[in-house]
Amino acid sequence: MTEPSSLSRRRFLQTAGAGAATAVWIPKGVKGYTAAEMRSAATGGRVELGISKWELDTPALCVDLDKLERNMATLGTALARTGIDSRPHAKTHKCPAIAHMQMAQGAVGICTAKVSEAVAMHENGIEQILLTTINATPHKIRRAMELRTRCDGFIQAVDVAENARDLSDAATAASIVADVAIDVDPGGHRTGVPPGEPALELARLVDRLPGLRLRGLLCYDGGSQHVKGFDKRRAQTLGRLAAGADTCERMKRAGLNTEIFSGGGTGTYNIDHETPGLTDVQVGSYVFMDAQYLVIGGAEGDGERYTDFDPSLTILTTVLSAKFDGMATADAGAKSCTINEPDPVVVGETGISYRARSDEFGTIRYENPSRTYKLGDKLELIVPHCDPTVNLYDQMYAIRDDRVVAVWPITARGMSQ
């Protein structure tokens, strides 16, 4: 990226980070925090509710509630127009408080990437869970069946016959019938059964197996989410989901259950309804946004900026060294921001770059700054990539009008099993 466009990008991101009008829509979830959540406020390092976020020890992960709620409202409004549902992905936030907000806003369920995440969400009151990854080992299958025993709304992915048989055997042994959805590969070859006949064959097998109940299919096209430019992204994702849609249609004609056809994400939430048969979008990042999504371009505007959602998730960092010309060092490094690209963006500033490539420290470089920073000053960063960044923290501070109103445990942090 050349210097001018980098500056222009940062200027945009700064604008994107600035507050718009306060949202009036307040989801139910925000009004009552669990005892555990309130407890963590008392034990989480001298944090008192109501203090200014600038009083927080840093690095601190913050989520602005006005922006978070506005993002949820934006999604809700868009989906209401298109007639499909949301099934937000909890791999992004790993936070039951946010999952409850999503459910309160009408999500049909939440997704999780790993069975450990699913268990954590269920233990914290989420009853509708779609696990989008298969359980490949006896240990994970046992865990999934135990969860299914306690949770009627738990559905798990399957993408290969041998695994379907293992699941059915385990379900039968546990005296349950387990709900499954066929994971169809949109072409990335990462996971999923190939669409068409292989997927149909697997669906027929699932439908026959005594321990399983077929609920439909999923087809998550991760590779299209960050394609830059709305038209290009639309063309790519519709193209890649076409075989999945055809598979869904063929399943339907074969009398197989397709009540769920789940796919899509934050980059395609306003495109996915064009895929015939698709029932719900697995949006994740829309709640937080990040530097990666902010530059993919939206349906409106200049095609470069993605302004549909506001960056609600930020990291507060403190300047540790300001002795040298043209630069400063702050306390949020790779262990606080990840080393994903693009770099973190300093909110409210232009002409400053922030690099978090060092484990413990971030480097501020002044190009054309509006000000310079001194020892102890604090800065606020938009994160490079929200999912792995959230996964570094035990808790996030819920902020309204720059004050801490809750401390939310990131309950499923580190749960990659």
Cα 226 to Cα 233: distance, rounded to the nearest angstrom: 8
Q: CB 213 → its own copies: shortest distance, Å?
A: 22
338: contact with its own copies by CB under 8 A: yes
Secondary-structure percent of the chain, ordered helix, strand, coil, rounded to 5: 35, 20, 45
Give the closest residue to 248 by CA, choosing from 237, 257, 239. 257
User: Can you say how many angstroms the Cα of residue 23 is from the centroid of all Cα atoms in its chain?
Assistant: 21
Neighbours of 74 (CB within 10 A): 18
Cα 224 to Cα 187: distance, rounded to the nearest angstrom: 11
Question: Among residues 300 and 394, whose Cβ is nearest to its own copies?
Answer: 394
Q: CB 159 → its own copies: shortest distance, Å?
A: 7
Stretch that binds its own copies, among 75-83, 98-106, 241-249, 320-328 (CB under 8 A): 320-328
392: contact with its own copies by CB under 8 A: yes
Phi, psi of 46 (to 5 degrees): 65, 15
Interface pattern 235-254 for its own copies (x via CB under 8 A): --------------------
416: contact with its own copies by CB under 8 A: yes
Task: Say if CB 226 and CB 182 are below 8 A apart.
Answer: no
114: contact with its own copies by CB under 8 A: yes
Q: CB 261 → its own copies: shortest distance, Å?
A: 21
Tell me the torsion sign for CA atoms 307, 412, 315, 105: positive
Return the residue of 48, 152, 300, 359 that touches its own copies, per CB under 8 A: 359
Cα 64 to Cα 47: distance, rounded to the nearest angstrom: 17
Return the residue of 30, 63, 65, 113 that touches its own copies, per CB under 8 A: 113
387: contact with its own copies by CB under 8 A: yes
Stretch 197-236 residues interacting with its own copies (CB under 8 A): 222
Return the residue of 179, 221, 280, 331 that touches its own copies, per CB under 8 A: 331
3-state secondary structure of 394: coil
Interface pattern 3-42 for its own copies (x via CB under 8 A): ----------------------------------------
Return the residue of 6, 257, 307, 321 that touches its own copies, per CB under 8 A: 321
Q: Which residues contact 237 (CB under 8 A, 6 or more apart)?
A: 221, 224, 227, 264, 267, 268, 271, 272, 275
Strands, DSSP E only, in 243-335?
260-263, 280-281, 313-321, 327-330
Residues of this chain that bind its own copies (CB under 8 A):
45-46, 55, 57-60, 91, 113-114, 133-134, 136-137, 139-140, 159-160, 162-163, 185, 189-194, 222, 318-321, 323-324, 327, 329, 331-336, 338-340, 358-361, 363, 375-376, 387-388, 391-394, 413-414, 416-417
